[in-house]
């Protein structure tokens, strides 16, 4: 059954898949019936022609024992008639077999097309199915079973994580260098944390804006649906913000999380207070009053 509450209208994607699999199965059955008909026709032809051949051979074998001219004539006429019957029977069966083969070829094309359509319908439907139903449908389509339910990847989270991957390329470089090369926007090099975070997320298409202010970053992310998550649930690409806590206003990207121990990546005022450097930060995530925002 669909991975939904009882009584709910079936999900459209699941319904589409059910229809596609039913159509595919029906096409398979039609093809099997056509193949069965062909097999029967081939067997029927073989049996009928063998019977006629047997009768012809019997006439030939007994012909030498016939001394009466009339009997010999009758035997020859019967053998000739059997020869005509053989050709007519063969012609009739061959025509039927040819027709059956044409039907099977058409059925095979239909099976291929319907299988392709069902496979196309499978992926969006699997996002709404439980494991048992998923594997039942996959088996019907000739696919291997899966061990866990299939759910869509969080593309926004993926894009944010790509922002971290991009940021790691600049590890060790200073803001003066990044700004000079147009990687981040021009601003005071000792106040460029939000500049770096938004530049990376913007380049990875996780957000559609850039800002130089931590408070502005916080407000705009929340307006876009980003939610506060506990450190234990933080993922690469999430944004850590310390918005005025203990007099500090700072932001960095979540680079990793091992059992709640969060590593940040950002533009920090060390080792040069006047020229921020891109580096890892393993302590700031624990600052009281700071928080982590995750994409919707």
Give me the percent of the chain exceeding a pLDDT of 90. 86
Res 1 pLDDT > 70 = no
Q: Model confidence over 229-270: pLDDT tens digits? A: 999 999 999 999 998 766 679 999 999 999 899 999 999 999
> What is the structure's pLDDT at 109?
97
> What is the structure's pLDDT at 243?
85
Mean pLDDT of 91-103: 96
Side-chain-side CA neighbours of 222 within 13 Å: the count stands at: 12
Q: Which whole-number Å values give the CA distances from 279 to 178, 208, 256, in the listed order?
A: 13, 24, 13
- Provide the token pair at 257: 């999380």
Q: Model confidence over 115-150: pLDDT tens digits? A: 999 999 999 999 999 999 999 999 999 999 999 998
List of residues 6+ apart from 232 with CB closer than 8 A: 257, 259, 260
Question: So what CATH class is 155-294?
Answer: alpha beta
**Which has the minimum average pLDDT: 28-42, 52-66, 83-97, 239-253?**
239-253
Higher per-residue pLDDT: 194 or 11: 194
Q: Output the pTM of the full model.
A: 0.54
């Amino acid at each position: 059954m669909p991975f939904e509450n009882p009584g709910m209208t079936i999900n459209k994607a699941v319904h589409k898949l059910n229809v596609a699999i039913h159509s595919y199965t029906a096409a398979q059955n039609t093809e099997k019936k056509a193949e069965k008909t062909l097999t029967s026709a081939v067997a029927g032809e073989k049996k009928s022609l063998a019977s006629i051949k047997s009768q012809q051979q019997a006439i030939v074998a007994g012909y030498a024992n016939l001394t009466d001219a009339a009997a010999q004539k009758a035997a020859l006429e019967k053998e000739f008639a059997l020869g005509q019957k053989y050709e007519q029977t063969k012609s009739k069966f061959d025509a039927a077999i040819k027709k059956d083969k044409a039907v099977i070829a058409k059925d095979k094309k239909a099976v291929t097309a319907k299988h392709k359509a069902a496979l196309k319908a499978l992926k969006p439907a699997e996002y709404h199915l439980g494991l048992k139903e998923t594997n039942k449908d996959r088996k019907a389509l000739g696919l291997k079973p899966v061990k866990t339910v299939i759910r869509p990847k969080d593309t926004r989270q993926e894009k944010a994580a790509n922002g971290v991957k991009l940021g790691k390329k600049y590890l060790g470089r200073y803001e003066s260098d990044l700004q000079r090369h147009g990687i981040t926007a021009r601003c005071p090099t000792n106040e460029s944390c939000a500049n770096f975070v938004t530049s990376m997320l913007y380049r990875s298409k996780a957000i559609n804006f850039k800002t130089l202010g931590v408070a502005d970053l916080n407000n705009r992310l929340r307006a876009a649906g980003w939610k506060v998550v506990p450190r234990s649930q933080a993922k690469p690409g999430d944004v850590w913000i310390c918005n005025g806590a203990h007099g500090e206003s700072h932001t960095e990207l979540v680079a990793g999380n091992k059992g709640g121990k969060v590593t940040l990546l950002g533009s920090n005022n060390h080792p040069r207070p006047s020229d921020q450097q891109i580096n890892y930060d393993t302590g700031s995530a624990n600052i009281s009053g700071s928080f982590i925002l995750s994409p919707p």
